[in-house]
Homo-oligomer: A and B are copies of this chain.
Amino acid sequence: MVKRLVEKVLSSRRVYDGHVINLRVDTVLLPDSKQTTREIVEHPGAVAIVPKLGDEDIVLVRQFRKAVGKYLLEVPAGTVEENETPRACAHRELLEETGYRAKKLTRLASFYLAPGYSTELLHVYLASSLIHVTRKPEADEFIETVIVPFDKALHWIQTGEICDAKSISALLLTSRRKK
């Protein structure tokens, strides 16, 4: 068993403080007393929601993702704001991105997106008993909602039409719960 030594930070350099993310580079001491650097993206955390519409359907969203240069089909999701709980964030993002309010919100899991370099922790919620209100997208979001049977969404994971880690994890965790 590897000695359970955490990596001691010798110095930390702030590279960038941004709108959604920050970047810092830590110089750390390894268990063998050598040094290395760790590039760390600081992220405030996020939520993803699996919105169940009736017995069979779910609500997905399609939007352009500049980082990957493509329109992606995903579960609704968003970044936790300052002084906001993940649960409140899930309610807000669901409404902003799909126009639905959820009477019931159940946390399914919490996991890290890219622990090799990002602090981002994402909380997944199952939303049900939805009521359609109206969509209030944020200023820089252009989002299309897509309502599909849950089984179709699972099929789209197999075909690669759904191809982001949080959506795949959230939908497959929901699928296992249904059994």
Contact = CB atoms under 8 A, between A and B. Distances in A.
A136 interface: no
Specify how many copies of this chain sit in the oligomer: 2
Contacts of A66: 7, 26, 28, 38, 40
Interface residues of A, number: 72
Contact of A165 (B21, B28, B111): B111
B67 A7 contact: no
A122 B117 CA distance: 14
Contact of A164 (B16, B112, B140, B164): B112
A57 interface: no
B21 A117 contact: yes
A155 to B, nearest CB: 11
Given A30-B142, A142-B2, A142-B31, A115 B68 contact: yes
Contact of A67 (B19, B117, B172): B117
Interface of A: 1-7, 15-16, 18-21, 23, 25-26, 28, 30-32, 34, 36-41, 43, 46, 62-69, 71-72, 74, 77, 79, 109-122, 139-140, 142-144, 157, 160, 163-166, 168-169, 172-173, 176
Nearest 6 CB-CB pairings of A with B: A165-B165, A172-B172, A36-B140, A65-B115, A38-B66, A2-B144
